[in-house]
Chain A
Amino acid sequence: MVREFQAIVMAGGRGSRMTEITAGRPKCTIPIGNKPMVWYPLNLLQRTGIKDAILVVMEQMKSAVQAALEPLGLKINVDIVTIADEDWGTADTLRFLSDRIKSDVIVVSCDFITDMSLHPILDLHRLHSNGVMALYFEPQPSDNTLVTPGPKSKFKPERDLVGLDEKTSRLVFVGSVSDFDSEVPISREIMEKHPVIDMYSKITDAHFYIFKKWVVDFLVHKKNISTLKGELLPYLVKKQASKRNKIDKRAEANTSAIDEDTKKDIFDFAQESYLTLKVRNISFYNDHKSDMNSAYHGDSIRCYGFLAPSHKFGARINTIVDYCNINRQIKDRWEMVTGGVQFVRVHSSADIKSTQMDDTCMVGENTTIAEKTSIKACIIGARCEIESKVRLANCILMNGVKIREGCILSNCVVCDGVEICNNAELKDCLIGSNNVISAEAKHTSEVLTVPDRLMQI
């Protein structure tokens, strides 16, 4: 049975922007609110009514991801596909999966978390799109007073320049701010077709795309495109404005020289069905006013951009800053982000003897917390051991962390299997997985990782 949409969750990345905590483990398994990151997009798809999803992971990470997924109890069929080549871009991956793709495809990144319902986006796609649909978010309000653990870094995110038609949401312009020197050219023809264009420079691309099936076929044909956002999306957006007949003529002239397959251009792929066109011709519908052109100005490739309403939350977790922010917010956003999955603040198997643990903390399964501990606004993973006289504030503890007597940690991220020995004092630190912090150690704003692990990367 061919379904309306197929979903692909891209989890092949290594988290290169936050290696401190992703070293040696798949990025998609780092916990957010005690769930692996990839659970959120999968849950989102499941909620939307998607039955099957393809999860793309690196070959060596497959078992780890499988292990992380098993206890989650997702109803959606997750088909884990591995890719071998580390250098593959997102478009390469999509090309690799082309045999499995039978219908329009939703491509979502494993680090995507939103409280938006996907239905309005899917509807816009169903109605108008013939190409790609992209999802954008307004800049999220964030609390700048909070200190991010680790050394201070000036992280400058890349800014996109996105142009949407004010009325129809047609995506008419994409570019990166760094692509332009001092001036930005926009073709006059586009301005004629879209009299009012909203240009955004501060919105973020959610890396959530819906492609028409033909785009995947086109990718198979056009081998030199390797990323979705950087290459395919601008290409499609640009091609919207070009006219087919010009290319046709050239193709005719060169028929003899070039063989059938290579002379196909994007417009051969972008053809709409006979019935659709017929219906559009008969219909009075038009997507624009003020000139006498047919609907969509006769464009066969149509890209749309969906800008989420400003009160909606949406984020990609690909930096330490994002990771800390989302963990701080997840308790408040849980209801909306997960679509009503029951919120387990403290797992029933946890053994908590502490009396000074506030309500904002989360505790995973089989974790033991000894008496005379003070724990504030922390997220504590599974199988952790926290001994007495430990003070924790604003910390994120992943799984299997052992904190010995008398430690004081504030605003730290502690990765899997870390052991922190007696009376250590850590502030604003990132502690890489399986590290052992010696007793009485004192660190502030540092990254503490096992050196050889970093070397591997």
Chain B
Amino acid sequence: MSRKGPKGTKGPTETLKKEDVVQAVVIADSFRTEFHPITYSVPAALIPVVNTALLDYTLECLSLSSVQEVILFCSSHADLIKDHVKQSRWSDDTSTMLVTVIVSETCRSLGDAMRDLDAKAVIRSDFILVSGDMVANLNLLPILEYHRKVQKQDKGAVMTLVFKEAGPGHSSHISDKAILAVDAVTGRILAHKKVKAGNKKITLPLEIYVDQPRVQLRNSLLDTHVAVCSPAVPPLFSDNFDFQTRDDFVRGLLINEEILASTLYWYKLQEDQYATHVSSWKMYQSVSRDLIYRWVYPFVPDAPFFWNSEPYMFLRHNVYKQKSVKLGKGCMLTEDVVIAENTSVEENTQIGHSVIGKNCHIGKNVVIDKSYIWDNVTIGDNCKISYAVIAHGSELGMGVKLSRGCVLCPNVVLPRDTNLDANILVASDVLNKDSFDQDEEYKLDKVAEKAYRVQVLQAESDSEDEEQVQPLCGLCLSEEEKEEENESESGSEDELSDGGAMSERASPVPDDTHYLAPSDFHLFTKLKDFLGGTHFGSDEELKKTVNTWLNELAAEEYNTGILKLVNRYDKLFFSEVMDSLTRGYEDNLHPDNLILEINSSRYAYNVSMREVNYFVVKALLTLPIQIRAADATPKYLNEFNKLLKHFLPIMQNYVRNSDAQQDCLQAIEDMASSTEVVQGGLTKLIHLLYDKDVLSEENIVKWYNNGDEESPTASSLRKQVSRLETNLFCMR
């Protein structure tokens, strides 16, 4: 088990071809946000589980499987990982396993990593692909051999995925729940379907059933994230630049099986083998427990795996403690406790189901339950801590209470009597912005000088991935898990009912769906207000209430509703005209066709002729701003002039008689009063249209005189054009 371990396991290598060096690729970055914000300062691969960094478990396991060469791929915190490897025994001269660190700062996903590997051409033969957060006691060689055997039968076999069987009720099924359809005879994977919480049915294509005599649907598998890959895998990633995650790869390969001519196989772990990866706090808790309960033997706390630490004593009730631990009088370690070296625990403190790191100091009368405390943590007297993760270097004053999944990032200092509950994250200082992921926004609440509460302001922009909606939740396994699930469920329902509000923040370009969304219709919003929060015993009751409400409603309500609808149609019509003109300009369409198009939209939305005139002019005036981004008056006029060259026939088609000219001027006035750019060039604009014979002087004068004296904007506009008006007047 110790340093001597790997030397003794030469046997299996001989069964492989001599020239083969068993390669493994370890991706030491999850590229996920589950452990944010703790991973802003600690790489996911170096998070300690039962006082040992995850990466050490991964490397040990590979070494025990006689892997000779490890390519460790890191992107964020590469220096920390490098240091870690440098200090580990893998940098020793006696090491049987060569660990090469490859750093790619720009790498954002597994796909990028594989493409990078392909570019660097470091893969020589079949290799083992694992993530740096793997905890496993499996022997990988049989899987490698299985993969080679499969490859002899099926040349296209590129990847063998390793799964562990566990019933649907197993606690480790928290993340990555998936259904696998495999050919029962060959073990080929036919479909891999992620199961989402809401799905009641699982649909798989018919052909997978028809083509194989016997297809196994497996719902009981835990994805270990261990895979054996052919050298063809990195090039496949390079060829398909849209493959980001391993799931993308699997999905892409299954869908395009014929095109890519690649197949996937699965391998079921034996019952006594353990393999999982720590992908979330829940998994963290579950894996810690498994390690303490010795499921991952030989990886148990008391095994002398880790060369520079003193051995643990394994005591009754799964209590593990190192020699230098000092326990005060009346101190109780109930069960499932791990305490590392140089930690001192003072009198009458109770610790149960917890892991405590090195050099910690825990005060008197403290109660710690189901919590994970990393190195160098100081906990004051009378603290009560349950379901919490406290990262290294934190300090808790006296009487601090933490419960229900608190996560404390490194170096947090909590003053005395702080009481934190639920999934609150506390990070020290202002989070260093540069390492921020753009797609997440946090709000920081100051709790104390070196403690800030972190709240996620906005869920991930791509809300497809439901798991990522609450990346910041802490532990909370066992009894509280159910509660939380309920919460999240009700949360998603809220989201649904808020669908209307979501679409409010629509883009500046009018969005059809926004205007037509039924929930937006005035009656429904009113009805929603009226019905909000009430409960009904039966359908009948509900029907009755709604009917009486509808009857009581004043007739005006309906009128305004219909009027609003007209308004909405107008908006829609305007957006259609805009679309037509924009396209017409970009594709240089003939004005006659555009006129046809506009006229047909007019009938579709039942808009009167005068309104058409108004909207067409308005649209023409908006165009320079929309598509040419004219932000200053001279540029605007210039662009408008250019546009007019193309669109003059349209203008002339609509602005014919004096009524139409009035509409046109009205549109110009409206635009001018709302847009500064237009306002500045109003005189020139009207003059231009006058020059082009679109507007006649009578109508300009008429418009000038008709102005609403009371409205300040109208009069100011008129002041502007007064000179022009006088000129015109004189001409007459």
A: residues with CB less than 8 A from B are 138-139, 159, 161, 163, 166, 177, 180-189, 191-192, 194-203, 288-292
- B220 in the interface (beta carbon within 8 A): yes
Instruction: Indicate if the CB atoms of B206 and A199 lie closer than 8 Å.
Output: no
The answer for the CA separation of A199 and B253 in the assembled complex, in Å, is 22
Residue of B nearest to A292 (CB): B169
User: A192 near B219 (CB under 8 angstroms)?
Assistant: yes
**Is A183 a contact partner of B167 (Cβ separation < 8 A)?**
no
Q: Is A188's CB under 8 angstroms from B201's CB?
A: yes
Tell me whether B21 is interfacial, beta carbon within 8 Å: no
Residues of A within 8 A of B181 (CB): 199
Interface residues of B in 367-420 (CB under 8 A from A): none
Please classify the interface of chain B as helix (H, G, I), strand (E, B), loop, or mixed, using the class held by over half of its residues.
mixed
User: 1/0 per residue B156-174: CB within 8 Å of A?
Assistant: 0000000000111110000
B217 to chain A: closest residue by CB: A197
Alpha-carbon gap, A181 to B203, bound state (A):
12
Is there contact, CB below 8 Å, between A188 and B200? yes
Q: A183 to B206, Cβ gap below 8 A?
A: yes
Which residues of chain B are within 8 angstroms of A198 by Cβ–Cβ distance? Answer: 184, 214-217
CB-CB < 8 A to B169: which residues of A? 290-292
Given contacts A186-B201, A188-B200, A195-B219, contact A200 B214 (CB under 8 A): yes
The one of B202, B213, B217 in contact with A201, judged by C-beta atoms closer than 8 angstroms, is B213
Query: Does B569 count as interface, using CB distance less than 8 angstroms?
Result: no
Given contacts A138-B213, A177-B206, A200-B215, 19 further A-B contacts (CB under 8 A): A161-B209, A183-B204, A185-B201, A185-B203, A188-B200, A189-B200, A191-B168, A191-B202, A192-B168, A196-B218, A196-B220, A198-B184, A199-B181, A199-B215, A200-B213, A201-B212, A289-B167, A290-B220, A292-B169
Residues B271-325 near A (CB distance < 8 A): none
Q: Is B209 within 8 A of A184, CB to CB?
A: yes
The B166-205 residues at the A interface (CB cut-off 8 A) are 166-170, 179, 181, 184, 195, 199-205
Q: How far apart are A364's CB and chain B's nearest CB, in angstroms?
A: 39
Contact B167 A195 (CB under 8 A): yes
Question: Bound state CA distance, A183 and B206, in angstroms?
Answer: 5
B469 to chain A, nearest CB (A): 21
The residue on B at minimum CB distance from A200 is B214
Task: Sample 13 A-B pairs with CB under 8 A, ordered by A number.
Answer: A177-B210, A184-B205, A185-B202, A187-B202, A197-B217, A198-B215, A198-B216, A198-B217, A201-B210, A201-B213, A202-B213, A203-B213, A290-B169
CB distance from A326 to the nearest CB of B (A): 23
Residues of A within 8 A of B212 (CB): 201
Separation of A196 and B168 alpha carbons in the complex (Å)? 10
| A187/B215 in contact, CB under 8 A | no
Q: Are A290 and B213 in contact (CB under 8 A)?
A: no
**How far, in angstroms, from A261 to B169 measured CA to CA in the complex?**
40
Q: Say whether, besides A180-B206, A185-B202, A201-B209, A195 and B184 are in contact (CB < 8 Å).
A: no
Given contacts A290-B169, A291-B168, contact A197 B216 (CB under 8 A): yes
Residues of chain B contacted by A163 (CB below 8 angstroms): 217
State whether B203 touches A184 (Cβ < 8 A). Answer: yes
Q: Are A290 and B168 touching (Cβ within 8 A)?
A: yes
A159, closest chain B residue (CB): B210
Residue from the set B195, B200, B214 with the largest chain A CB neighbour count within 10 Å: B214
* Nearest CB on B from A176, distance (A): 11
B183 to chain A minimum Cβ distance, whole angstroms, is: 11
Pick the contact of A199 from B200, B201, B207, B217 — CB < 8 Å? B217
Question: A290 and B200 in contact (CB under 8 A), knowing A139-B213, A183-B205?
Answer: no
CB–CB A196/B219 < 8 A: yes
B167 & A199 in contact (Cβ 8 Å cutoff): no
Bound-complex Cα distance A289 to B216 (A): 18
* B214 partner residues in chain A, CB cutoff 8 A: 198-200, 202
Distance in angstroms from A108 CB to nearest chain B CB is: 25
CB distance from A134 to the nearest CB of B (A): 17
Range of interface residues on B (Cβ < 8 Å): 20 to 34
A191, B206: Cβ atoms under 8 Å?
Answer: no
A191 cross-chain contacts in B, Cβ below 8 A: 168, 179, 202, 217, 219
In the bound assembly, the distance between CA atoms of A200 and B195 in angstroms comes to 23
Say how far B320's CB is from chain A's closest CB, in angstroms.
29
The answer to whether A187 and B201 touch (CB under 8 A), given A291-B168, A292-B169, is: yes
By Cβ-Cβ distance, the 3 closest A-B pairs, closest first, are: A290-B167, A195-B220, A291-B169
Chain B residues in 8 Å Cβ range of A138: 213
Q: How far is the CA of A166 from the CA of B219 in the complex (A)?
A: 12
Docked complex Cα distance between A139 and B212 (Å): 13
Do B170 and A184 touch across chains, with their CB atoms under 8 A apart? Answer: no
A-side contacts of B201, CB under 8 Å: 185-188
Q: Which listed residue, B200, B206, B213, touches A184 by the CB 8 Å rule?
A: B206
Inside 8 A of B168's CB, which chain A residues have their CB? 191-192, 195, 290-291
In Å, the complex CA distance between A186 and B208 comes to: 14
**Given A199-B214, A290-B168, A290-B220, are A188 and B199 also a contact pair (CB < 8 Å)?**
yes
A182, A188, A192: most-surrounded residue (chain B CB, <10 A): A188
Measured CB to CB, the closest approach of chain B to A137, in angstroms, equals 12
- Determine the chain A residues whose CB is within 8 A of the CB of B210 once the complex forms: 159, 177, 201
Which B residues touch A187, using CB under 8 A? 200-202
Which residue of chain A is the closest to B201 with respect to CB atoms? Answer: A185
**Minimal Cβ-Cβ distance residue in B for A178:** B206
**Cβ distance B269 to chain A, nearest Cβ, rounded Å:** 15
Which chain A positions have C-beta within 8 A of B203? 183-186
Q: Which residues of B contact A182 (CB under 8 A)?
A: 205-207
Q: Are B217 and A186 in contact (CB under 8 A)?
A: yes
For residue B169, which residue of chain A has the nearest CB?
A291
Q: Are B206 and A181 in contact (CB under 8 A)?
A: yes
Closest CB in chain B relative to A230 CB, distance in Å: 19
Query: Which residues does chain A contribute within 8 Å of B209, judged by CB atoms?
Result: 161, 177, 184, 199, 201
Choice from A139, A196, A288, A290 contacting B217 with Cβ under 8 Å = A196
Give the Cβ gap from B197 to chain A, nearest Cβ, in Å.
10
Interchain nearest-CB distance for B50 vs A (Å): 26
Determine whether the beta carbon of B213 is less than 8 Å from that of A195. Answer: no
Closest to B179 in A: A191
Chain A hits for B219, CB < 8 A: 191-192, 194-197
CB closest residue in chain B, given A201: B209
Contacts of B184 in A (CB 8 A): 198
Q: Is the CB of B206 within 8 A of A188?
A: no
Roughly how many angstroms separate A202 CA and B185 CA in the complex, as a whole number?
Answer: 14
- Nearest to A183 among chain B residues (CB) is B203
- A196 to B216, Cβ gap below 8 A? yes
Name the one of B170, B202, B205, B218 contacting A188, with C-beta atoms under 8 angstroms. Answer: B202
Closest B residue to A289 using CB positions: B167
Find the B residue at minimum CB distance from A139: B213
Tell me the bound Cα distance from A211 to B202 in angstroms: 30
Smallest CB separation, B649 vs chain A (Å): 51
Q: Which residues of B contact A166 (CB under 8 A)?
A: 216
Shortest distance in angstroms between A253's beta carbon and chain B's nearest beta carbon?
A: 9
Q: How far is the CA of A191 from the CA of B210 in the complex (A)?
A: 20
Assembled-state Cα–Cα distance A185/B202 (Å): 5
Q: Which residues of A contact B195 (CB under 8 A)?
A: 188
Q: Whose C-beta in chain B lies nearest to the C-beta of A203?
A: B213
**Residues of A contacting B207 in the complex (Cβ-Cβ under 8 angstroms):** 182
Kindly list chain A residues whose C-beta atoms are within 8 Å of the C-beta of B200.
Answer: 187-189
What is the CA–CA distance of A197 and B212 in the complex, to the nearest angstrom? 14
Inside 8 A of B220's CB, which chain A residues have their CB? Answer: 195-196, 290
CA distance A199 to B182 in the complex (A): 10
Cβ contacts under 8 Å, A289 to chain B: 167
Task: Give CA–CA (A177, B168) in the complex, Å.
Answer: 28
A-side contacts of B218, CB under 8 Å: 195-196
A200 to B205: give the CA distance in the assembly, Å. 14
Chain B nearest CB from A229 CB (Å) reads 19
Contacts of A159 in B (CB 8 A): 210
Near A by CB (< 8 A), chain B positions 88-132 give: none
A50–B111 alpha-carbon span in the complex (Å): 65
* Assembled-state Cα–Cα distance A139/B199 (Å): 35
Which residues of B sit under 8 angstroms from A185, Cβ to Cβ?
A: 201-203
CB distance from B54 to the nearest CB of A (A): 27
Nearest-CB distance from A450 to chain B (Å)?
41
